[in-house]
């Protein structure tokens, strides 16, 4: 994979994240088993829940982009394509 293609994937991931929510639930369930196995009953009498653990794996919402930021991103993306286009003679 070239650096230009890698940059395209990074730009795409910023627009449409390539993540699996299922993976976050899987990791959270493993952490849940560990936490409850090592939980001190005197400090916390009730077991942890999956929702409590999962909240640490949920990514924060992306901040809203300004028009200037969107234009800058579009120029960066199209600049990648322009470098591959050869002018006609």
In tens, the pLDDT along 13-54 reads: 778 776 667 777 788 889 999 999 999 999 999 999 887 887
Q: Is residue 41 part of a domain?
A: yes
Residue 63 is assigned to a structural domain of this protein: yes
Domain with 77 in it: 3-82
- Is 89 within a domain? no
Q: Report d(CA 48, CA 29) in Å as an integer.
A: 11
With respect to residue 7, please indicate whether it lies within any of the assigned structural domains.
yes
- Has residue 85 got a pLDDT over 60? no
51: left (phi over 0), alpha (psi -120 to 50) or beta: alpha
62 is a domain residue = yes
Residue 88 covered by a domain: no
| Selection from 13, 29, 5, 23 nearest residue 62 by Cα | 13
pTM for the complete prediction?
Answer: 0.41
* Interacting residues of 54 by C-beta distance below 8 A, sequence separation 6+: 24, 25, 28
Residue with the two structure tokens 């006609």: 88
Number of structural domains (the chain) is: 1
């Amino acid at each position: 994979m070239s650096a230009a293609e890698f940059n395209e994937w990074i730009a795409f991931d910023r627009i449409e994240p390539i993540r699996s929510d299922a993976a976050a639930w899987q990791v959270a369930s493993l952490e849940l088993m560990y936490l409850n196995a090592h939980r001190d009953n005197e400090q916390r009498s009730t077991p942890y829940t999956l929702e409590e653990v999962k909240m640490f794996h949920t990514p924060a919402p992306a901040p809203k982009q300004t028009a200037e930021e969107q234009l800058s991103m579009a120029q960066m993306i199209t600049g990648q394509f322009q470098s591959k286009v050869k002018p006609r003679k």
